[in-house]
Amino acid sequence: MDKSSIEEESTQEGDRTPTAIAALGPIAMLYNIDLNGTSRADAAKRMVEQAKVPLVLYLEDPSSPASSPVHGWWKDGPIKLPEDGRKLMGDEHPYPVEAAEDMASLCRHPDSGDFMMYGWCAGMRQPMTFAMENGSHGGSGPNETHAFALMPEDIQPPDPSRGYWRPQDLRSTARAYLRGARPMKVDNHRMPKTVLRIMTYNVHSCRGLDGKLSPQRIARVIARYRPDVVALQELDVMRKRTGGLDQAERLARLLAMDLHFQPTINMKEERYGDAILTHLPARLIKKGILPGPPSGKGGLFNPAADEPRGAVWVEIEANGKPIQIINTHLGLSRAERLRQVDALLGPEWLSNPRCTGERVLLGDFNALPNSAECKRLGGYLRDAQEQAPRHNPKGTFLKVRIDHMFLSAGLNVKRVRVPRTSLTRQASDHLPLIVDIDLPIKGGK
């Protein structure tokens, strides 16, 4: 008999749709029950007392499932949900109210059947399964309320005040993450107020070593370490080679941070350069292009050799005190870098009368710690990796140390990290450099 014959036979006048049961583990739904004048309450009572079903639920008014009260029967008599949820779930259940509300919601679903049978209620030692299977799950008992989920540390629950995840939360969060729709806002409340966390990170135009273009992956790296200030190098803005995306704006939006961008290359609508992102009060002081290589010293058979280099200077307020942050990306030749270092140490930047208070110079210097460039900077500022207690300086690019953070004498380094994880190793060709700095309390010395 084909499908059309079955449908025709089942809809003939006078034919009654047969009783059916749908079961999955400790939950079963009964359909098309002929009560023969018996009330729903009596039918539920008989299932409990004669068939030994632990709990049976039903709608008082099936014609209005959305508004109908949910009634039922169990070993101690009649119950009503969600009002009797705590009694039904027992004192050991961690979420009696939520479980009862879920049961009532399921009972009101238009496809839930005339009666719902549950294989567990308070006082039962061993839950009952209606479908014969190994490892049944899906009931309302306390053993069904705990699980584990492996996820990135920066993924925040939809409602942090609630303190737990629902399966629907996991599904919606995963879908939103895959679509890139949810900001990965930096959590600023876990760091003590007397600690300033600064990161410098060459993001390689947000293209990872796997060839994948992913600003969101870069944002995940940043958000995972919760910095207060982020200095980024090699950002593409509206460039065809990276899909015409404004990477600086996208990262700022994903991280819910303010953006200060300095383009070093401008080609009509396309730009390329460096940026400072922060959630702290900040104002832009200066941005500009640094000197290029001396005459006749360019041309290293590398397009990046003649690439203009720049810097962006922002003054932030941390704990009531101003701190000057200058982000830069120096050139590929030693002669060029020395000219750029001299410019940064000169009256336009670090020796500028406006560059008062504590200072931080950071970025991709394309120079090793023992280079003439770094030694020259070391005469005025301190290398954070060399100042950190109980820390061995670590490389940021192919195991060599070319990304640096230089600090003025009044800033004490508390901790330095160069995280080498599966995520950071793949997201860019550089690793981020993260420095925690002790800050005096406002009004202190």
- pLDDT reported for residue 23: 87
The structural domains of the chain, ordered by start, are: 20-144 (no CATH), 195-438 (3.60.10.10)
Secondary structure E strands in 64-210:
70-74, 77-81, 115-118, 195-202
Q: Provide the whole-model pTM.
A: 0.65
- pLDDT reported for residue 180: 57
CA 163 – CA 427 distance, rounded (Å):
31
Decide if 20 contacts 32 (C-beta within 8 A). Answer: yes
SS3 state at 241: helix
SS3 for 10-56, per residue?
HCCCCCCCCCEEEEECCEEEEECCCCCCCCHHHHHHHHHHCCCCCEE
What is the distance between the terminal CA atoms of the chain, rounded to a whole angstrom?
91
- pLDDT reported for residue 296: 63
- pLDDT reported for residue 324: 98
Q: Which residues of the chain have pLDDT under 70?
A: 1-16, 134-136, 138, 152-154, 156, 176-192, 296-305, 440-445
- pLDDT reported for residue 177: 67
Angle between helices 247-255 and 215-225 (to 10 degrees): 40
- pLDDT reported for residue 156: 67
Total number of residues shown for the chain: 445
Per-residue pLDDT tens over the stretch 217-231: 999 999 999 999 999
SS3 state at 278: strand
Per-residue pLDDT tens over the stretch 104-126: 999 999 899 899 999 888 888 77
Give me the residues paired with residue 229 across strands.
198, 278
